Amino acid sequence: MPAAAPHLSGQVLEHMCQVPAIVRRKQVDLNAWYEANTREVQVKVKKPRTRKPKTKQVQAATNALRLGSLNELIAPIEPSMNC
């Protein structure tokens, strides 16, 4: 029966949490890596947005349907029709 693997010490775990893997494994200088692998984004100048001219509502309000009184809309109930 193989022996259980020893656990990592707290100091090793702390080092692993604080130091990135690329630095631990390949001994990479992060400042040099950052300068080599990043570049500034060129910001495109946006044209100001032009608004569409407002179209006039042609007689929309005057041609709207006019509703009558509620009494005219509801048909009277005949007393002979009971549910």
Q: Report the b/e string of 42-68 with b at 16+ CB within 10 A.
A: eeeeeeeeeeeeeeeeeeeeeeeeeee
Determine the average pLDDT of the residues in 26-51. 90
Reported as a single tens digit per residue, the pLDDT across 56-71 is 766 655 566 667 777 7
Q: Does residue 22 contact residue 32 with C-beta atoms inside 8 Å?
A: no
Instruction: Provide the whole-model pTM.
Output: 0.34
Task: Give residue limits of the domains in the chain.
Answer: 10-38
Q: What percent of the chain has pLDDT over 90?
A: 10
Cα–Cα distance between 20 and 29 in angstroms, integer?
A: 11
Exposed / middle / buried, residue 33 (Cβ in 10 Å: 0-12, 13-18, 19+): middle
